[in-house]
Structure 1
Amino acid sequence: METALKRTISTALAACVVALSLTACGSGSSDSDSGNAADELRLGIALGDLATFDPARVLADAMQLVIPMYAETLVDVDQDDPKTVLPNLATSWEASEDLKTYTFKLRDDVTFPSGNTMTAEDVKFSLERVKNVQGASAFKMGIVDSVNVVDDTTVEFVLTGPDSSFPSRMAAPYLSVFDSKVLQENGAVSDASAVTADDAQAFMDKTTVGTGPYELEEWRRNSEVVFKLRDDYWGEAPAFDTIVLEDIRDASTQAQLVERGDIDIAMDIEPDTAASLEGKDGIKVVTEPSFNINYLAMNHQSKDAPELADDKVRQAIQMAVDYDGISSALADGAPRPAAVVPIGFVGADKVEPIGYDPDAAKKLLDEAGVSGLELDVEFANVTWYGVSQQSLWEKLQSDFDKVGIKVNIRPVEYEKWIEGYRAGEFSITSGLWAPEDFDSSSYFDPFGREAGIYGERTSMDFPIGQKLYDEYLAEKDPAGRETIAEELITAMRDDATLIPLFQANKFLVHSDAVTGVRYSPNKQIRLAEIKPS
């Protein structure tokens, strides 16, 4: 079977034959002796939530794969043990005794495409800008009071309170470092006025100013993104000269294209489609457990369904869901955590989820004095983690009907859905979350407290969440952190505002012309690690 990569190499070989009398020429594939890079790697991926390349203004699933192409963070997580934090742009770090000050030592050999060398000033500017632009990712810097330059290779973070998870927090791709000199020349502002004064998004949507191995060459919205390898990348160069992300939102279309050789990797494959491709000539199917969660969210202050403010009604809805049926029919047997904190994170393995119990759900609705509840549901008409949200809601519609709840399902385009969800307009909907870093605080912050971004979207009434979150951040002892995390996860489960449906398996289908394709806990896949076979 011909693949995108094989065709590229064949074209390169043909060119060599033509030019043989004039010069020597490589095959186009990666070669450790020659250092040549293969020409092109093509991915099929749903890019519906890719609205900008400015991390200060966005929080989107696709960005976890895209940002590391052109920008890097102070630390990274271990691919095989994501709870372990590794040096990246920083070589080391240390915390004060009270966990309120963290000092990072930086590499001195990192450069931007402009030729400027990265310094502590760039770190300060980039991360203060994330906080002060006040975009969707700003909460990642919420605990930071100030960023101080000690010297060119030393930067200090002073926090508003203790945070035992801070080094892990700094692995989030949204906290990448950018060229402050070039950004300021093109409208970027990092101080408190940034929320209105910063004007750099348009520049960042067409020009690379990060330290990563690739530069943005072209972005055609709703079509494709093209990245070109940097000639002057400071680190070890990846194998491919060009990486193309084709915006393909239909899983079956992705499968057809990878079979045909038009793309090398399909990112959004459903379980049944993946099974149908197993054993096909020239195709590899990678199936791995992930930390990605598909969940339900309910609004306490819904004008259309005020009943959702009642704990008993939300708990009844939690008990009305046939989780095993969803897992077996739609999600390839994926497990389910107790709350929106993945299995494998601190405290999550200790808490049992609430299971399917329609009789108990009916009893709770009776106790709440609720009958004939009708819910209008708007949800993103997409496939997340291999599961069609249309199919998911058809199943949920059937489940809720069994306990006397009528659901009217209304699929909408992703862009309309995310706008409505961020505005808190939905009574009930489904969402997704993939981790950017690997401490449970990265879930407690957005999902486990009223002031978190999802607490605000759902008008959550959950005061215990903030108290336990603060205690968790202040605790140094691992056993103590586990105990507090268990208590908070239990409280999140019983509050039932945000209900996990399944923790997805990840399906990656790729041509056998490439190798190194595997799930990455915080980057979807690590494109820089993929090589020609």
Structure 2
Amino acid sequence: MSILRPAILAAVLAMPLSTLPVLADTPADVLVVAQNIDDIVAIDPAQAYEFTSGELVTNVYDRLVQYDAADTSVLAPGLAESWEIDAEGKTITFTLRDGATFHSGNPVRPEDVVFSLSRVVKLNLTPAFILTQLGWTPENVDQMVTAGEGNSVTIRYAGDFSPAFVMNVLAARPASIVDAETVMANEVDGDMGNAWLNANSAGSGPFSLRMFRPAEMIRLEANENYFNGAPAIDGVIIRHVAESATQQLLLEQGDVDLARNLTADQIAGLDTDALSVETFPQAAVHFLSFNQADAQLTNPAVWEAARYLVNYQGMVDSFLAGQMEVHQAFWPNGFPGALNDTPFTYDPARAEQILADAGVELPITVTLDVINAAPFTDMAQSLQASFAPAGINFEILPGTGSQVITRYRERSHQAMLLYWGPDFMDPHSNAKAFAYNSNNAQDAYAATTTWRNSWAVPAEMNAETMAALTEADPARREEMYLDLQRQVQAESPIVIMFQASYQVAMSNRVSGYVNGATSDFVYYRLVEKAE
């Protein structure tokens, strides 16, 4: 690494964004990324719940334990260097590593851990449910998470969970540790620094947030004091480029080092002498869902027919080639307990018969919300074409990622084309999203696709989902999740279609980029750029 790193980075970061496209080559020690980032609603770890915000949080913050860039399959020490588990007493005692500091220069203390975890629960924003699964409430969290002697923190949980489940929860995004002193110095009207953290950062991770402009850009600066070793590059600039064609042009001109959202056709047409493509299996499943608040969509025959009106293979063999594979269950292939059966194929005659036998009054006109970017718009047009002959007519409503997600959370859509990734590495994460909804009331908001589609899940399925969470026998637990996947696959208003495979095009100068199975596993700290 050059001794001129701080000066070079300061000069690059001082450039107006509009000047960056004319750089014949990107700066030597700065990674420049073209990416659609308009899905970001929030970047405070206590609120961030979108794919791109997850990438940002992972690179800026640390957790007690975390899946690291060096090996995303291993739950490794983070800010905690060791821990002791008392399964019977339902406690885990963590010992923090010595010398870890926040970007402000403040030391990472047990008090910061206590503040960070309790803050998520007390703010009770979208991802708080991940931590409150442990029995934490605003009233009891100060007793459940406590600072101990020396550099220790004790975590208590209520519920019959395996310690492995608890550890995975503590490795999830909302368990990120923030600098309590810096955050509370920026508190406004009792918001515990939420407004400030949605424009700034207070982490200890390999990068600090230098600048964030929504739907425009993100600038990260390397943390040379990072406990796991300083990043190999000085910084990262993520430019919001919504159009995949523009991303391709910028990459081919050398104005960016990575393009994150190219189509399959664009990938196939790249000059491989100067550029390379890496494919990363992803945990995200893509689905079509019907809002049960709309009476014309509540007949189970509509759900069943829909499963035979998706041209799965046609999409995968054309514009989704290399980007998705047919997958029809809520837990992704490649993870233990995934159901890989694909019983549904494109069969419009069968779908028409199902609708006719059920006496469904046709035609039905349904608005379909979709993110206005590749490949979602192409997928929506394919669905529009394949459903129409059966009398189900989609009116496509494109919007930015944040607009579409906001409508979904409000339950104001009719049909939705979207994707879902696990919040943490345990099948309960997706089971609760796709197979559980114990309170379907409008004022009982839940960050699940079941609630957002107003689907009152049958009581038996709700019970099985919670029983699987507490099942101690691993083989029995896996079979319960397989059964839940079969039920959702066959009898729900959610039509799961694909599992993503993510292709990233990059300059041949770039190495060390890590893109794990979820957005929380996108890492820049090992990236290097050859001269």
Give the TM-score category using the shorter length: 0.7 to 0.9
1 CA distance for matches of 2:190 and 2:421? Answer: 31
Report deviation, 1:448: 2.1
Question: In the alignment, which residue of structure 2 is the partner of 1:236?
Answer: 229
Closer/same/farther in 2, CA of residues 477 and 108 from structure 1, 3 Å limit: farther
> Which digits, 9 at most, give the CA deviation of each residue in 1:416-466, with x for residues without a partner?
322211100111111122344321112112222115522211111213333
1:351-362 map, 5 Å? 351-362=341-352
Which one is further off, 57-66 or 72-81? 72-81
- Specify the alignment match of 2:15 in structure 1: none
Residues 276-311 of structure 1 deviation map (CA, whole Å, 9 limit, x = unaligned): 1152x3211112322222211211112xxx132222
Give the direction of change, closer, same or farther, for the CA distance of 1:118–1:325 in structure 2 (3 Å limit).
same
2:179 partner amino acid: D
What residue number does 1:19 align with?
Answer: none
Alpha carbons of 1:509 and 1:411: their partners in 2 closer, same or farther (altered >3 Å)? same
- Give the Å deviation of 1:159: 2.8
Which residue pairs with 1:252 in the alignment? 245
Query: Which moves more between the two structures, 37-46 or 505-514?
Result: 37-46
Instruction: Report the counterpart of residue 284 of structure 1 in structure 2.
Output: 276
* Cα distance in 2 between the residues matched to 1:489 and 1:455: 14
Residue pair 1:347, 1:489 contacting (<8 A) in 2 also: no
The superposition leaves residues 369-390 of structure 1 with CA deviations (integer Å, 9 ceiling, x where unpaired) of: 203142332423333xxx4222
Deviates more, 1:253-262 or 1:489-498: 489-498
Instruction: Name which of 453, 463, 485 aligns with 1:458.
Output: 453
Deviation of the 1:365 alpha carbon: 1.6
**Which of the residues 9, 13, 32 maps onto 1:42?**
32
Aligned length: 489
> Deviation digits for residues 338-386 of structure 1, max 9, x if unmatched?
3222112232135544333333322322233203142332423333xxx
Contact 1:99 1:474 in 2 (8 A): no
Shift in Å, 1:225: 1.4
Correspondence 1:417 to 2:404: yes
CA distance in 1, matches of 2:152, 2:495: 42
The residue matched to 1:507 in structure 2 has which SS?
strand
Give 2:421's aligned amino acid. Answer: A
User: What corresponds to 1:437 in structure 2?
Assistant: 424
In the alignment, structure 1 segments of 5+ residues that lack a partner are: 16-36, 189-195
**Matching residue of 1:488:** 484
| Structure 2 residue corresponding to 1:217, chosen from 207, 210, 217 | 210
CA-based RMSD of the aligned residues comes to 2.7
Per the TM alignment, residue 85 of structure 1 is displaced from its structure 2 partner at its CA by: 2.2
What one-letter code is carried by the residue in structure 1 that aligns with 2:498?
F
Q: Cα deviations across residues 61-89 of structure 1 (Å, max 9, x unaligned)? A: 10121112211122223669755422222
Q: How does 1:366-405 map to 2 (within 5 A)?
A: 366-383=356-373, 387-405=374-392
The AA in structure 1 aligned to 2:390 is V
The answer to whether the 8 Å contact 1:100/1:159 transfers is yes
1:80-229 alignment, distance < 5 Å: 84-97=74-87, 100-144=90-134, 145=136, 146=141, 147-151=144-148, 152-164=150-162, 165-187=165-187, 197-229=190-222
Hey, what's the Cα distance between the residues in 1 that align with 2:344 and 2:190? Answer: 47
Structure 2 residue runs without a partner (length 5+) = 12-26, 439-445
In 2, Cα distance between equivalents of 1:402 and 1:170: 48
Is 1:329 equivalent to 2:318 in the alignment?
yes
Matches of 2:83 and 2:414, distance apart in 1: 44
Equivalent residue for 2:513, pick from 507, 510, 517? 517
Residues 307-328 of structure 1 show CA distances to partners (whole Å, capped at 9, x for unaligned) of 3222222122122212111211
Q: 1:206 to 1:80 in 2, by over 3 A?
A: closer
Q: Which residue of 2 aligns with 1:307?
A: 296
The aligned counterpart of 2:255 is 262
Identify the residue that residue 33 of structure 1 maps to in structure 2: none
Contact 1:348 1:486 survives alignment (8 Å): yes
Distance 1:257 1:39 in 2: 18
Query: What residue number does 1:344 align with?
Result: 334
User: Relative to structure 1, is the Cα distance of residues 362 and 135 closer, same or farther in structure 2, using a 3 angstrom cutoff?
Assistant: same
Aligned partner of 1:88: which letter? G
In structure 2, do the counterparts of structure 1 residues 82 and 449 end up closer, same or farther at CA, with 3 Å as the change threshold? farther
Distance (whole Å) between structure 1 residues aligned to residue 375 and residue 247 of structure 2: 14
Partner-residue secondary structure (3-state), 1:348: coil
Give the Cα–Cα distance (whole angstroms) in 1 for the partners of residues 186 and 513 of structure 2: 37
Give me the TM-score of the superposition, normalised by structure 2.
0.85
- Describe the shift of the 1:206–1:423 C-alpha distance in structure 2 as closer, same or farther (beyond 3 A): closer
Q: Which residue of the partner structure matches residue 17 of structure 2? A: none
Decide whether the 8 Å contact of 1:76 with 1:171 is kept in 2. Answer: yes
Whether contact under 8 Å (1:337, 1:348) holds in the other structure is no
SS class of match (1:114): coil
- Kindly tell me: are residues 507 and 421 of structure 1, through their superposed partners in 2, closer, same or farther at Cα, counting changes over 3 Å? same
Deviation at 1:95, TM superposition (A): 4.3
| Contact 2:35 2:238 survives alignment (8 Å) | yes
CA contact (8 A) 2:328 2:497 kept: no
- Out of 487, 502, 525, the residue aligned to residue 498 of structure 2 is 502
- Per-residue deviation, 1:263: 0.6
Conservation of the 8 A alpha-carbon contact between 2:69 and 2:514: no
- Contact 2:333/2:340 (8 A) holds in 1: no
Judged with a 3 Å threshold, the aligned counterparts in structure 2 of structure 1 residues 399 and 470 are, in CA distance, closer, same or farther, namely same
What's the offset of the Cα at 1:48? 0.5
2:335 aligned counterpart, secondary structure: coil
Aligned partner letter, 1:329: S
CA distance in 1, matches of 2:349, 2:210: 57
Say if 1:98 and 1:450 are closer, same or farther in 2 by CA, change over 3 A.
farther
User: How much has 1:183 moved relative to structure 2?
Assistant: 1.6
Counterpart code for 1:477: D
Counterpart amino acid of 2:364? E
| Alpha-carbon distance in structure 2 between the residues aligned to 1:175 and 1:81 | 20
- How many Å apart are 1:503 and its aligned residue? 0.7
Distance 1:158 1:60, change over 3 A: same
TM-score (norm: length of structure 1) = 0.85
Change (3 A) 1:80 1:357: farther
Letter in 2 for 1:314: W
Higher mean alpha-carbon deviation, 466-475 vs 352-361, is at 352-361
Q: Secondary structure at the match of 1:197?
A: coil
Q: Tell me the distance in 2 between the aligned counterparts of 1:286 and 1:531.
A: 15
Which deviates more from structure 2 when the two are superposed, residues 480-489 or residues 282-291?
A: 282-291
Q: Which 10-residue stretch deviates more, 246-255 or 432-441?
A: 432-441
What is the DSSP-based 3-state SS (H/G/I as helix, E as strand, rest coil) of the residue aligned with 1:245? strand
The structural deviation recorded for 1:518 is 4.0
Identity %: 27
Counterpart of 2:285? 293
1:231 CA drift (Å)? 4.1
1:473 match: secondary structure? helix
Counterpart mapping for 1:11-30 below 5 A: none
Compared with structure 1, are the counterparts of its residues 53 and 488 closer, same or farther at alpha carbon in structure 2 (3 Å cutoff)?
same
- Bigger shift: residues 443-452 or 248-257: 443-452
